[in-house]
Amino acid sequence: MIEINYRWMAPVEAQRIREINRSEEIRIGYMVQSGQLCKIDVDWDTPSFFLEGDGEHTVSHLVEFCLDHLRAGGRIIGAFHGEKLVGVGVIRPNIRRGMAQLALLHVSNGFRRNGIGNHLTRELIDEAKAFGADRVYVSAMPSGSAVGFYLSHGFELVDEVIPELFKLEPEDIHMLKILG
């Protein structure tokens, strides 16, 4: 069993996202057709975040993304193996009345399937409830692992996407969890 410690992080620690290895070989994907979730065979190899530059999949872009959500009242939680950040999640309140956004969730390659994502998600959902949310929206990468993970946590395909989030990530699978 891997020993993992979890804690809420200060905004200044957002740059530690560079420690996350998001690389993944993806062979099952999802797409939405006629309002239905459809599995598709894919051949996607996702690299880790790029350490240099400021484009979409760079550390600097992701850090700014996190800071934007934190400035909007969100919180960031980390999963640590020793001193190394191996998992991270961001929750943002009030993207709509009573709705929080699970804005980010990553677990490093080599640390997945150890309950880290489950723990982070439970903490983020508890925080959403503390914000007063009764729903959590997520825009999930269309990989089999990401979509399957959210489905296993009670998220369902949305009936109506949030236009500004869909515009940012039209290929993602937009999902919602009703909190009880």
Predicted confidence (pLDDT) per residue in 18-43, tens digit = 999 999 999 999 999 999 999 999 99
Q: What is the pLDDT of residue 53?
A: 86
Mean of pLDDT values over 10-19: 96
Closest CA to 87 of 140, 20, 143: 20
* pLDDT reading at 1 higher than 80: no
C-alpha radius of gyration, the chain, whole number:
16
- As a whole-number percent, the residues of the chain with pLDDT over 90 amount to 92
| Domain count along the chain | 1
Residues spanned by the domain of 21: 5-178
Q: What is the pLDDT of residue 148?
A: 97
* pLDDT reading at 55 higher than 90: no
Query: What distance in Å separates the CA atoms of residue 119 and residue 153, rounded to the nearest whole number?
Result: 11
Residue entry with tokens 């903490």: 123
Closest CA to 77 of 27, 21, 122: 122
Residue 36, domain CATH: 3.40.630.30
